[in-house]
Amino acid sequence: MNHPTLPQLRKLIGVANYQFGRGAGQVLFNKGVGVICSRRTGRIRYILRRNRLIATLRPRDGYLALTMAGARIILENMKEPPNLVSVRDDVSEFIEAGGDVFAKHVVSADRCLRPAEEVIVVDQRNHLLAVGRAILSGNDMQYFKRGVAVKVRRGVAESRSKRQDALQDSDYADELES
């Protein structure tokens, strides 16, 4: 793991601010941030904070894919967290286990949310349940009564049950320890 250079840090902050709104970059990347770059291309691949994976920089579109730790940082440190989808409490266990969010279970969604954007899923009491990718817009999530609204990438229960992050299973585990 390396400390990001100033241009790398500016890029990460800019992407986070664009993707999650003004101030998100400073919240995510303010202290103890490190990056792991691709060995083949030299581009940023993983972003860590205090040796915990908080996001992956997706090579296809250049956006951040949050981990549960990254979503938690945003929820705890931003007054009005962006890209938030709130679901009914009675389906929270299903979503925590990694199940997709169906439109009929959505209580509220960020109105600015567009399809294919990164989403933070919470229950009605604002407890973190999952992170994923929006399939519908924020408005459509509230009005549709059928279909998948959010494709969940990882739920809280999945994160708890796994002893190691996906990063530690990769070739970069030895770089983390050094």
Q: How far apart are CA 114 and CA 102, in angstroms?
A: 16
Same domain, 155 and 168: no
Q: Domain tally for the chain?
A: 2
Residue 21 lies in a domain: yes
- CATH number at 108 reads 2.30.130.10
pTM of the model: 0.85
Range of weakest confidence among 8-17, 35-44, 90-99, 160-169 = 160-169
Output helix, strand, coil percentages for the chain, rounded to the nearest 5.
Answer: 35, 30, 35
Q: How far apart are CA 95 and CA 7, in angstroms?
A: 37
Q: Dihedral sign, CA of 72, 73, 78, 83?
A: negative
Q: How far apart are CA 84 and CA 70, in angstroms?
A: 13
Range of weakest confidence among 5-19, 53-67, 123-137, 153-167 = 153-167
Same domain, 20 and 51: yes
Same domain, 92 and 24: no
Domain assignment of residue 61, given as a range? 6-75+163-177
Same domain, 152 and 85: yes
Residue 152 lies in a domain: yes
Range of weakest confidence among 11-20, 31-40, 114-123 = 31-40
| Percent of the chain topping pLDDT 90 | 75
**Confidence category of residue 173, pLDDT binned at 50, 70, 90:** very low
Range of weakest confidence among 10-24, 76-90, 137-151, 160-174 = 160-174
Same domain, 154 and 88: yes
pLDDT for 63 beyond 80? yes
